[in-house]
Chains A and B, each alone.
Chain A
């Protein structure tokens, strides 16, 4: 009895250590959020924006609540996007609300009391901004989802088309679900 109890005790201890290590690896936040933070800027090379001549820094706006904390800044640090108009460093901006004229290329809509996710989506409709939302929120062009314990995403081609964005087939092939321009849902 004592032996089995000891074994169980040690098993719990091991689990605790592993959990601690995992937490340490994700720099404090929950694992999904850490993955999302690294995914967010990686959408950029797979999407084409209508303003090909833009030379300002490539901006990722976190609108409303920020679930990432320092994770996003750390992931983006030193990353530079090469575009037809030249290299564009990637930067992160935190704003409370977003509008059609906000200088954002990718907007993560966290939602807040000032502007819900749905309001934010409406505000940027037709603007050249790639909207990214979380699983439980109204879906933007890209909506995170968790499948089989992995962070994946859905893609709404209709919204992308409205915003004048073209999404690479490579990205589309990785999406869990793609809603095309006609509103048809493709597996």
Chain B
């Protein structure tokens, strides 16, 4: 019981401390004032009492002398009072009120009535009747100086000083309490902010780790696919008139390998290691072009609407990746609306300001082109929202979802320097907003479809193929021979350089980017020093900083993504030689 009261009191003290301190201050000051007044009154009463006693003693002493008018004797008694410096005047009056004896500078008035009536300020007067045996023989009058104000104040100055000091201490305490409380609140807020930031950091670190993991696996896997696809391609080229059954087996294998390649590409996209080829892109046009395809994907029960924002800026992105992202989002939307619904794709210009940018996710404030994909589906809970961008996270039944759709979206947008926001209400639907960076470049005219060039000019060209992966290297060499090039192979940069220094003068260097020892880029630089007019085409599953800055190609760098087909290689090589 007492504990409860104590805690309640303490809580009151915590929350109402400033008020409590002010109250104590007021009580302290009022109490000290009351005490001072009380003490002063008591002191005055004592002084008056002492004066009355003095007057009484005098009255008693002078009774005889007054009765028989012995002025000498009276004078002796009154003179005795001169010893008291506070006594200003003494008067002894007879029973008729006439002055019999007196002393004092200001003196006592001649008549008792006047004496009683007029008391100068700064003094007080006492008159006591002289009575002996019941006979009133006269009156004794004493006027004493009241204590000067200065002395009175001085008497309480010590106490007043203590009160002032106590007040000061209380005030300081109150201010301290306020400061401590403010700091405490600030600290709590900072801790909360930090927790949010740490959660965001943990999330991004997790994504990074998962990205590295999947990226690594996907890279190796991609190389193997390159070999499989390439060899299947060669097989078809070499035996175009083979048994149709055999050809069907091969094309089925090719189909499966291509789907596997698409999967690894999405993994690479998530891990942000997929090379991007960003160009100024009309996002509105892309969305418009895609809407037909998407509509077909969605089926009969889902209507699609596209809203193009007015004066839409161009975005600096890889249009192909945007298309993939849109398809991924559309597929998700479809799966969220099994009973039908509506899909809306809006595009608009957006400006992310500093306030938005200072949120938990790192966003650069600036101009963006926004693409919002909204469905009227089942929506997602907050727990699901926390995980949607993680690769392989899926809410779909086993076998229906790869868990890579939103990962691709996230990876693509982040790698492009944009931002993804997702809003969802369970039972109402989901909106995914992609903020794509605005392009500052001039509009690029659509490149003409590279035509196949006939002729044997390429036969005079020699190609140096460098890849540590024997399968890839051999496929590339075979493909090049198939295409009519002279081919020299090397398993790493060192061997390739020895070949070049040994007198070989390749026109084209087709090299892997990441290899043990020197990288493809270093090799290219070394070869260029020996043969400045050599053309370089990089092969890569993914690229790192050696050739790609933040996933964007160096200008003037040519790149072919593994796995590639013979035809793709042909197109790339011709584009390279056209330069």
Contacts and interface: CB of A to CB of B under 8 A. Distances in A.
Interface of A: 35, 39, 41-42, 44-46, 79-83, 87, 150, 152-153, 168, 170-171, 173-174
B133 A81 contact: yes
A39 B135 contact: no
A44 B135 contact: yes
Given A42-B137, A170-B132, 8 more contacts: A45-B133, A45-B134, A81-B135, A82-B133, A83-B133, A87-B134, A170-B64, A174-B73
Contact of A170 (B63, B69, B134, B135): B63
Interface in B87-146: 132-135, 137
Best-surrounded residue of B67, B70, B133, B137 (most CB of chain A within 10 A): B133
A46 B65 contact: no
Given A173-B64, A174-B64, A81 B69 contact: no
B92 to A, nearest CB: 15
7 contacts: A45-B63, A45-B137, A81-B134, A87-B134, A152-B70, A153-B68, A170-B65
A46 B60 CA distance: 12
Contacts of B65: 170, 174
Nearest to B136: A79
Among A44, A87, A174, the most chain B Cβ lie within 10 Å of the Cβ of A174
B459 to A, nearest CB: 162
Contacts of A45: 63, 67, 132-135, 137
Contacts of A79: 135
A42 B70 CA distance: 13
A127 to B, nearest CB: 21
Nearest to A170: B64
B133 A46 contact: yes
Nearest to A41: B135
Q: What 6 A-B pairs are tightest by C-beta distance, nearest first?
A: A45-B133, A82-B134, A170-B64, A45-B132, A42-B67, A45-B135
A35 B134 CA distance: 20
Interface in B514-549: none
A83 B134 contact: yes
A46 B70 contact: no
A183 B395 CA distance: 142
A159 B82 CA distance: 40
B73 A42 contact: no
B424 to A, nearest CB: 111
A39 B64 CA distance: 11
A173 B73 CA distance: 9
Nearest to A86: B134
Interface extent on B, as a size class? 10 to 19
A46 B67 contact: yes
Contact of B64 (A35, A46, A83, A150): A46
Interface of B: 63-65, 67-70, 73, 132-135, 137
Contacts of B73: 173-174
Nearest to B135: A45
B134 A39 contact: no
A41 B134 CA distance: 12
Contacts of B137: 42, 45
Nearest to A35: B69
A150 to B, nearest CB: 7
Nearest to B68: A174
A82 to B, nearest CB: 3
A82 B134 CA distance: 4
A146 to B, nearest CB: 13
A87 B133 CA distance: 10
Contacts of A42: 67-68, 135, 137
B69 A150 contact: yes
Contacts of B133: 44-46, 81-83
Name the residue in A35, A46, A170 with the highest tally of chain B Cβ atoms < 10 Å from its Cβ. A170
Contacts of B135: 41-42, 44-45, 79-81
Contacts of B70: 152, 174
A168 B132 CA distance: 11
A46 B132 contact: yes
Nearest to A153: B68
B139 to A, nearest CB: 16
Contacts of B64: 46, 168, 170-171, 173-174
Contacts of A82: 133-134
A65 B135 CA distance: 27
Contacts of B134: 45, 80-83, 87
A5 B181 CA distance: 107
Contacts of A44: 133, 135
A179 B132 CA distance: 24
A39 B137 CA distance: 11
Contact of A39 (B63, B68, B132): B68
A173 B65 CA distance: 9
Nearest to A169: B64
